[in-house]
Structure 1
Amino acid sequence: MSDWPEGWDRPPDVPPRAPELQPQQPRTTVLPAHLDPRAPAPPPRPTARPRRSPRLPRVRVLRWVRPRRVLALVVLVVVLLAANLVAVGVWTATHLQHLDALPPAAGRPHDGSDSVWLLVGSDSRSSLTRAQRAALHTGTAEGQRTDTILLLAVPRTGKPVLVSLPRDSWVTIPGHGKDKLNAAYAYGGAQLLVRTVEGATGVHVDHVAEVGFLGIVDLTDAVGGVPVCVPRAMQDAKSGLDVAKGCQTFDGKTALAYVRARYSDPKGDLGRVERQRAYLRALLGKAVSWSLLLRPDRQWRLARGGTSAVAVDGAGPVELARLVRAVRQVGGPGTEATVPVSTTALRTSRGVAVAWDAAAAKALFAQLAR
């Protein structure tokens, strides 16, 4: 089709006319919203808070926790503990077993101003069942004897003195001649033992306390065990003792075996009396420790065990308290000793016995008597 006007022909040498260019529409460019100045501003983004280190939860102080109320609570607890302790003391005093041990005054040594106790450990098996004898390794010996004999002098001023009298000491027993000291108990009970001790020492005895085999077991278990430091490992077939070297806590069965053992001790009976004194101090020390004073249940258990295991004569609650305090003060040179001995192998009609050093023993007992 020719693009010339009608009736006109395009010369052959004239190139065709380019078509008229249509006006171009402006090109529209769509900008992102964050770059378009006409776009509304986006809402502000929330600012992230900086992380804080974790804090411990706040502890609210209760209103009732105030100094005055705390003090009142402490006073109340102290009062209740003291009241319980008084109740235990009164109950113990009224339930103590009485021992008729003090002989008539005639013929006895002069009564000094100090208080002197005779502490006796009885080895009688009469109150033990067959099962208890087997468990405690006590044997089946009949009659009554004493494994432990101690003199405790409690002066009004100064330190108390605790002296061990070996059970095999060769002495004169009134009415029976020469014999071992523990035989006096077998012949005439506590009264004859007191007369024998007074005659051999010249010291007046004011009070007597006796504890049996089960007493050691019950008292030890009542205080929750007793701490003891053993200098060397010990094994004793006759008493049933088997302990290692070092500090440990004894239960009642082990404690009884420990204070009875002598055949495994190089010092024999003299070594045993030293262990008996040490254990007595440890036992009474535990009985008045804070761990027991703050435990009313253990106080009542000790009171029940003590009243069933210990028998006394000539002593009330005050004297018993002085006894416990005196034993706790014992320890070290000048406050505890074994009666001076010249030999532990004295040949007698009753077998091998212990002979005292007469001069040294007389001086020791003269000091106690004064």
Structure 2
Amino acid sequence: MSLLVLVVAVVAVGAWLYVSANRQLRHMDALAGYAGRPAAGKGTNWLLVGSDSRSTLTPQQRRDLHVGNNQVRNTDTIMVLHYGDHGPSLVSLPRDSYVPIPGHGSRKINEAYADGGPKLLTRTVEQATGLRIDRYAEVNFLGFVQVVDALDGVRLCLDKPLRDEKSGADFPAGCREMNGTQALAYVRARYTDPDGDLGRVKRQRQLLGAVADEMASPDVYLDPSRLKRVLDTSLAAVTVDDGADLARVLDMGWSMKRIAGGGGTATTVPVLRPGVMVSGVGSVLRWDETGARRLFQALRNDDRIPTSGDK
């Protein structure tokens, strides 16, 4: 009887948390129809965006996070998460990718967000990849820090030391627990990384996997008070498209958890070579058109994606 009471109590708490969380979920108008939009393929495609908007940061937070007062809204993270009949796939689109932005010519892909917000970024990604984006999720600077802190930090392992004065990163090689500020510094570092933007996207995927793994740990979901704190913080940090509900967000989170546990694939869109200078644009990454076409065709067909061993 005591076991039955416990099960009923857990189910009741879970149902209450679900209803409460669904009411808190924030939405935005991020997807739009237009002439020539790619047709829907098999499976579901999420566009995951990390916004570097600083409008919500206090002066002290800007100092702690090593960011200035620039209010231009760009994106530090752009990823496509796909899931269907096969294991989930996560593809990073480096922010310096040189692609056509509708109405603005060819520029770095992250500038689409500054030029036209989520709708233009989504359209840019769709036209560059040939994929129909079904769902959209965005996390901002401060929200990201608060989510990691609500989890009491995440464990990350470095193969070699990482130091970057501009991001605030200063970490020795080895494994360590990082709080939100440290984790943000870790993923934003790129100026002292010989791989530049490509190195940063690897760290972004590593951190997303660590966060998803920690969120799905028994220490969180078996502790109702901690679970509520993590849910409340996460829901305050994320904004999704108008058609996404909590069930779809949980599907997305579960797919990220599977990737973190080795049950999926993570890679970066193939590039020809880094650091190509374009007049009036700066240093950009040009995609390998043949490799990129094969990758996105596999996603459209819900096939296993080709990778180069890039995790």
TM-score bin, normalised by smaller chain: over 0.9
1:336 partnered with 2:261: no
Distance 1:197 1:115 in 2: 15
Gaps of 5+ in 1: 1-71
- How far has the Cα of 1:227 moved from its partner? 1.3
Shift in Å at residue 137 of structure 1?
A: 0.9
Q: Distance in 1 between matches of 2:163 and 2:170?
A: 4
CA distance in 2, matches of 1:236, 1:265: 8
In the alignment, is residue 247 of structure 1 matched against residue 175 of structure 2?
Answer: yes
Q: What is the percent sequence identity of the aligned residues?
A: 45
In the superposition, the TM-score normalised over structure 2's length comes to 0.92
| 2:224 corresponds to | 296
Corresponding residue for 1:182?
110
Structure 1 window deviating more from structure 2 (194-203 vs 93-102): it is 93-102
Task: Choose 221-230 or 144-153, whichever is displaced more.
Answer: 221-230
Instruction: Call closer, same or farther: CA 1:82–1:242 in 2, change over 3 Å.
Output: farther
Q: Quick check: which one's helix share is greater?
A: 2
Answer yes or no: is the 8 Å Cα contact 2:220–2:226 preserved in 1: yes
In the alignment, which residue of structure 2 is the partner of 1:231? Answer: 159
Query: 8 Å contact 1:179–1:350 — kept in the other structure?
Result: yes
8 Å CA contact 1:126, 1:143 repeated in 2:
no
Counterpart AA for 2:205? R
CA distance in 2, matches of 1:329, 1:106: 35
Deviations 1:73-118 (A, max 9, x none): 2332333223222222211111111121001254310012311000
Q: Deviation of residue 333 (structure 1)?
A: 10
Q: Which runs of 5+ in 2 are unaligned?
A: 302-311
What is the CA–CA distance in structure 2 between the aligned matches of 1:278 and 1:82, rounded to whole Å? 32
Deviation of the 1:294 alpha carbon: 1.7
- Contact 2:82–2:89 (CA under 8 A) maintained in structure 1: yes
**Count of residue pairs brought into register by the alignment:** 298
Q: Relative to 1, partners in 2 of residues 1:360 and 1:138: Cα closer, same or farther, differing over 3 Å?
A: same
Could you give the per-residue CA deviations for residues 117-142 of structure 1, whole angstroms, max 9, x where no partner exists?
00000001111111111111122222
Tell me, what secondary structure is at the counterpart of 1:228? strand
State the structure with bigger RCO (CA 8 A, min sep 6), 1 or 2: 2
- The one-letter amino acid of 1:196's match is T
1:191 and 1:290 map into 2 onto residues whose CA distance is: 37
Counterpart contact for 2:88–2:264, Cα < 8 Å = no
CA distance in 1, matches of 2:253, 2:59: 33
Are residues 344 and 119 of structure 1, via their aligned partners in 2, closer, same or farther at CA, if it must alter by over 3 Å? same
1:21-78 deviation line (CA, Å, top 9, x unaligned): xxxxxxxxxxxxxxxxxxxxxxxxxxxxxxxxxxxxxxxxxxxxxxxxxxx3233233
Match of 1:256 among 161, 184, 208: 184
Q: Which has the larger radius of gyration?
A: 1
Moved more, 164-173 or 253-262: 253-262
